[in-house]
Amino acid sequence: MTRSSSYSFGQCARIALSMGWSDFSLQYRSTALGMVWVFLKPALKFVVLYEVFNTLLGTNIRQYPLYLFSGIIFWEHFSVTTSQCVGILLQKQRLIQRIPFPRIVLMWSVGWTSFIVLGIHMAILLLATLILGSGISPRILFVSAAMLQMTALALGVGMILAAYSLRYRDIGHAWQIALQLLFWLTPVFYRPRLLESRIDDLIRYQPLSILLREVRTLLVYTDRSLDDSLWTIVLVSVFTAVVLACGIGLYQYRSRYFLHEY
């Protein structure tokens, strides 16, 4: 039987792409609404948050529908990706126990599946910017960088959590609580400066907030200067690369213990 260490990078990439696409297809194949579920979850969250907060906050935020929807799809991408990373080792228990393959493939497959969904949501956001009159500018070319940054951050955090998810089974539950707290600390539906709270700096400068500000400058507020955003792209790219590298290193180190921790 082929040992997991003998897999080349190309083989790992093909397995991850195939596994991710298969998981994405199977997730909706047997449902009555099928692919509609991809659009339904962010759409329902958008409707609820818009109806609740538009009167309170919408008048103080330009292009509030686009501001809100961009926040929702990137938040959902981070939340779903990290949660799936934490849970996939238990979901794929039989596969891991029966077949020797690089365990990192599971994380790449999660990232690929989530990136497909993010791409679909981004297409909807781009269409919305045209309909609502915001327009599309050449800076849209930088949006792919923001998508990769968010995916790298989510995978890095997800792998750090997944590395210990078998040894400490409470991590999955604890992370769901942490995500609820983090949602309110991320300017998905509000602008940080409107709050004037003691944790304003924490909200403004935490990584998810910076990424959302970057995306909104590129897509929603195209009249803003791009100079600061270019520096943000560079700095955030370095930060997310470090988080991803730490996640990979820790996950790879801990993967040798997975079989014994089931």
| Per-residue pLDDT of the chain in tens (262 residues, 90 and over written 9) | 445 567 777 888 888 888 888 888 777 777 777 778 888 888 999 999 999 888 877 678 889 999 999 999 999 999 999 999 999 999 999 999 998 889 999 999 999 999 999 999 999 998 888 888 666 777 788 889 999 999 999 999 999 999 999 999 999 999 999 999 999 999 999 987 766 667 788 888 899 999 999 999 888 887 777 766 678 888 899 999 999 999 999 999 999 999 999 8
Instruction: Answer whether residue 1 is part of any domain.
Output: no
98 burial (CB, 10 Å; 0-12 / 13-18 / 19+) is: exposed
How many domains in the chain?
Answer: 1
Calculate ∠ Cα 241-143-124, nearest 5°. Answer: 125
Instruction: Answer whether residue 26 is part of any domain.
Output: yes
Q: What is the pLDDT of residue 198?
A: 73
Instruction: Answer whether residue 175 is part of any domain.
Output: yes
Domain range for residue 180? 7-261
Residue 114 near residue 81 (C-beta atoms within 8 A): yes
Number of CB atoms found within 10 A of residue 87's CB: 18
Instruction: Answer whether residue 2 is part of any domain.
Output: no
Instruction: Answer whether residue 40 is part of any domain.
Output: yes
Instruction: Answer whether residue 155 is part of any domain.
Output: yes
Instruction: Answer whether residue 63 is part of any domain.
Output: yes
Q: What gap in Å lies between CA 24 and CA 75, rounded to an integer?
A: 19
Instruction: Answer whether residue 156 is part of any domain.
Output: yes
The span from the first CA to the last CA of the chain, in angstroms, equals: 22
Calculate ∠ Cα 177-118-195, nearest 5°. Answer: 50
Q: What is the pLDDT of residue 1?
A: 40
